[in-house]
Structure 1
Amino acid sequence: MAIDRGLLAILKAKPGKGDDLGAFLKQGRELAAQEEGTVTWYAFRLDEVTYGIFDTFESEEARQAHVSGQIPAALQEVSSDLLAEAADIRPIDVLAVK
């Protein structure tokens, strides 16, 4: 299994919405578990208002299926309520994995 691509999303919560954003991300785990092509999916918190998602894929098709899937759609639905600014979502190349 060659895991060589991923996505990194950085999310900034609106003031007072950090806990809500964290709870939303925890719920995302269930959706990610249903995605056959998503190898790993992590939600994390950097500070009171900065959160993120890091996920990995074995193929570009799997990454594109994720981008077109339920998690980004759900994030779009709650973004005006929870996010202070647009999510910074970047495709990444995985250089090494253990």
Structure 2
Amino acid sequence: MTIDRGILALLEAKPGKGGELAAFLEQGRALAAEEQGTVTWYAFKVSDTTYGIFDTFENEEGRQAHLTGAIPQALGTVGPELLAKDPDIRPVDVIAVK
């Protein structure tokens, strides 16, 4: 398996909404588990208002399927209520994996 691409998404919660955003991300794990092209999926917390998602993929098809899948759709639904601004979503190249 060659993991050579990923997605880094940074999310800024509205004041007082960090816990709700964290709960949403915890629920996202089940959706990510259903995606065949997503090799790994991590949700993380940087601070009380800054959260993120990091995913990895073996190919561009998997990455594109994720970008148009259930998690981004769900985020679009809750985003106006939970997020202070639009997510910062960046495709990344994975250089090394252990």
TM over 0.5: yes
Residue 75 (str. 1) matches residue 69 (str. 2) = no
Superposed displacement of residue 53, structure 1 = 0.0
Q: Distance in 2 between matches of 1:76 and 1:61?
A: 21
TM-score (norm: length of structure 1): 1.00
Superposed displacement of residue 54, structure 1 = 0.1
Q: Where do 5+ consecutive residues of structure 1 fail to align?
A: none
Query: Structure 1: which 4+ aligned runs deviate by more than 3 Å?
Result: none
Q: Where do 5+ consecutive residues of structure 2 fail to align?
A: none
- Provide the secondary structure at the position in 1 that maps to 2:96: coil
Q: Distance in 1 between matches of 2:90 and 2:3?
A: 17
- Provide the secondary structure at the position in 2 that maps to 1:2: coil
Superposed displacement of residue 97, structure 1 = 0.3
1:31 is matched with: 31
Post-superposition CA distance 1:30-86 (Å, at most 9, x none): 000000000000000000000000000000000000001000000000000000000
2:43 is matched with: 43
Q: Distance in 2 between matches of 1:61 and 1:39?
A: 12
Matches within 5 A, 1:1-98: 1-98=1-98
- Letter of the aligned partner of 2:4 in structure 1? D
| Count, aligned residues | 98
- Provide the secondary structure at the position in 1 that maps to 2:36: coil
Q: Distance in 2 between matches of 1:79 and 1:62?
A: 23
- Letter of the aligned partner of 2:30 in structure 1? E
Identity %, equivalent residues: 67
TM-score (norm: length of structure 2): 1.00
